[in-house]
Structure 1
């Protein structure tokens, strides 16, 4: 039997999280004051495009054409052959990033004046469109924190190396973009500090309420913060009344959806069986192959591009950085074509908010299928495909009336490997009637999403980001609908 103290800690943390969602911070009185501090920071990372042939410290293997680092570490750009897809294209080949290391994405939390705060970092990544973004306390690959790059040590890393079990709030390995990464996973961690935490330039303490409000700002909170936030055990068990808002019934229903006893369209056992069945029958097959043999892609003008001009390019960049462990380097990156759309359709059933999730088979997934948002696509990529290939519910999302949009903000993907990868993240209320036995879609309550996020490889990174955005709708006041 688990000790009583363990149960006490769970209830204590749930109460602290609820309080932190409502509380003002100890340092910044509001978003404008934070942004004033933010604008005074001197860190940046400027990335200039250069030909792949001009990369230093990287080479193209003479036989395969794979782009690899001289150290044999970090990552490589290889080719991938994909077949057996049940989508509009059954077979294709593409470049993909192979990064077998497991990195650490960690947020340190601590009670300050009795209120839970998160230690966040202002971090500049070469792929960020706007330079600095709000990042986790620690955001590092294994090559980074073992010093392969020859740079300075990663601050605060020691808090996440073998922390005491009773201080670990979340610790789970999660996937990255399955269309661009081959079986890449990072360790998502939230750890509570149990003593003095040093002050460092470029870091600040924020309450959860402040952090979720900043998530509503366009392209400010990075992907790594969003995925870690999604693993936070937010629960309305015993506290849903604190979120009740007579002026906003949706917010009240959302809180009800975070209560573990809330009624659901499908039981969690049924949802898990649905995922397992999909993984058992999905015939998606992948084979790593030499980059210079990938069909449908060409290497010219210093980059690798698809013959259609769509999807993405593999480019080279030269980076100059201030406030990073290394000040200057070059590297390859993936540069997507077009702005993507990532959306949840949400609907109340018996007063409980459910999100419509979709099974997605992506070539880079370790287990073939994960749950993604209702819509996850770059519309431009479908211009050359038959109209029947157009993603389901895309038109409903893009044509939604303003009063049905609960969240709408432009956010970017991971800036360490992807250059200006932008997606429009939306949460849209709907009356759509999806059959209970639809093979691809299921209505899932928010507390069920939270339960799945305690385990690896159930929700893809886009769904995790969007779940964090949906949770942000709990925060009092208009959140996430003012940027467009």
Structure 2
């Protein structure tokens, strides 16, 4: 098992005792496991791509089988009344740059399960990951959690095969639950969507089915550098793990200033620009003061959205489309189906500006309202946008700090990878995820931004609806820098 020195392993165990943090960070620092190296994993992944197939054909919304468009409301609904609907959302935001608008939105009130099963193998914690094809994936197979299923899926509304490993998460009694928390998803495209994010540790042997493999956390986090490989659902679950603890600044093996600041940022005893109590009060105040009203309504009432060419598009040509796909798949619970999806008009940029403050790395987060959030505001990255939506505007009307991110030199960029969003509802939705070091942005410059440490973000992730899904992905990307391993080349396709 490479990547973990005996000295570091001993320090972790001494510092954290029997707490799960010790085994988690040991797994983070292990860059080999059941797969001895990158080449072994690449061969396995190539084999999965050869043995599985999925054809996805774009079709008109009117041609979706088992989906109907209500003749009065225009809402798209499955014949069972399950899965999800596509409706309109009317938004009033008096203090916003746009004070009111309507838009299509996915309404999926079910709470799904995103779960990763973990087990000690040769003394090191491994995660059971799934090579999964989704109709919206840019490159076909991506790494997904052990279980990634909506309630309609796992209750088998589609009359398909059972979801493997599901019972470990529906009935975790007798196993060690490392994290179990409800989290939101994209508040611009989903209306109050929540998933249960879980990590469950088992001691007994677990049969490894075709399409699944054991990876250390270090291996998974290195794979985050590979474009479009580690899926969004895996990233959000990994982010919710309680990684961090007292003494991390001295235990983790970094000898450069940035690495040392990042390690100290994982320690809750390190100094922070704002206390956690002050951060919680700030979030509560922002939620209380922010007036944003969102009401579901008929899709035909979405002003400025046109039904043309078999899809629904905005008259400006910006934002996103609602389109349909016909899917044929091998190895899935159901072999073929049709469904509507959201297709963004361009790739996005998701970025944290980061800086050391008194030797502790801080991330600049934004208290961001989105119309689909259950509680008005969640903490978001410094920058979260589709730049194509602002190309017609002068730079002084761009989202705050976008220009800082775009102007960053190579020496400032600590992480840079294009990663896919959830491929079950979004078609070819991709964002460029960036972590950019800066010394030019003052702390406390705007009331809707604050500097937080990684330990504070980790503490907030133990609770629901504090960090949005984009920020959770960036937390996983930040943690990938803790491995101290060089950037991993992508597998051959």
TM over 0.5: yes
Aligned pairs (5 A) from 1:387-406: 387-406=395-414
Match of 1:33 in 2: 40
Question: Of the candidates 319, 344, 355, which is equivalent to residue 336 of structure 1?
Answer: 344
Question: Of the candidates 282, 301, 316, which is equivalent to residue 290 of structure 2?
Answer: 282
Match of 1:4 in 2: none
Match of 1:461 in 2: 469
| TM-score under structure 1 length normalisation | 0.95
Aligned pairs (5 A) from 1:420-435: 420-435=428-443
C-alpha change, 1:304 and 1:338, in structure 2 (3 Å) is same
Task: Using the TM superposition, name which of 150-159 and 427-436 deviates more.
Answer: 427-436
Query: Over the residues paired in the alignment, what is the CA RMSD in angstroms?
Result: 1.8
CA deviation after TM superposition for structure 1 residue 482, in Å: 9.0
C-alpha change, 1:407 and 1:437, in structure 2 (3 Å) is closer
Match of 1:113 in 2: 122
Match of 1:212 in 2: 221
Partners of 1:71 and 1:186 in 2: CA distance: 21
- 3-state SS in 2 of match to 1:305: strand
C-alpha change, 1:144 and 1:166, in structure 2 (3 Å) is closer
CA deviation after TM superposition for structure 1 residue 434, in Å: 2.6
Match of 2:258 in 1: 250
CA deviation after TM superposition for structure 1 residue 389, in Å: 3.0
- 3-state SS in 2 of match to 1:40: helix
Question: Of the candidates 319, 323, 341, which is equivalent to residue 331 of structure 2?
Answer: 323
- CA contact under 8 A between 2:175 and 2:202: conserved in structure 1? no
Question: Of the candidates 336, 359, 373, which is equivalent to residue 365 of structure 1?
Answer: 373
Partners of 1:92 and 1:481 in 2: CA distance: 43
- CA contact under 8 A between 1:344 and 1:373: conserved in structure 2? yes
Match of 2:481 in 1: 473
- CA contact under 8 A between 1:236 and 1:255: conserved in structure 2? no
Unaligned runs of 5+ residues in structure 2 are 1-14
Unaligned runs of 5+ residues in structure 1 are 1-7
Segments of 4+ moved more than 6 angstroms = 480-483
Q: Deviations over 1:34-53 (max 9, x none)?
A: 11210111223321100001
- CA contact under 8 A between 1:406 and 1:481: conserved in structure 2? no
Q: Deviations over 1:68-99 (max 9, x none)?
A: 00000000000010012533211100000000
- 3-state SS in 1 of match to 2:19: helix
Partners of 1:98 and 1:480 in 2: CA distance: 38
CA deviation after TM superposition for structure 1 residue 253, in Å: 1.3
- 3-state SS in 1 of match to 2:270: coil
Match of 1:292 in 2: 300
- CA contact under 8 A between 2:126 and 2:217: conserved in structure 1? yes
Partners of 1:481 and 1:249 in 2: CA distance: 25
Q: Does 1:54 align with 2:57?
A: no
Partners of 1:305 and 1:168 in 2: CA distance: 43
Match of 1:410 in 2: 418
Aligned pairs (5 A) from 1:430-445: 430-436=438-444, 438-445=446-453
Match of 2:10 in 1: none
| TM-score under structure 2 length normalisation | 0.94
Match of 2:12 in 1: none
Q: Does 1:86 align with 2:124?
A: no
Partners of 1:153 and 1:265 in 2: CA distance: 49
CA deviation after TM superposition for structure 1 residue 140, in Å: 0.2
Match of 1:130 in 2: 139
Match of 2:382 in 1: 374
- 3-state SS in 2 of match to 1:347: strand
Q: Does 1:70 align with 2:70?
A: no
Q: Does 1:164 align with 2:168?
A: no
C-alpha change, 1:341 and 1:332, in structure 2 (3 Å) is same
CA deviation after TM superposition for structure 1 residue 220, in Å: 0.2
CA deviation after TM superposition for structure 1 residue 287, in Å: 1.0
C-alpha change, 1:341 and 1:234, in structure 2 (3 Å) is same
C-alpha change, 1:10 and 1:171, in structure 2 (3 Å) is farther
- Give the total of aligned pairs: 476
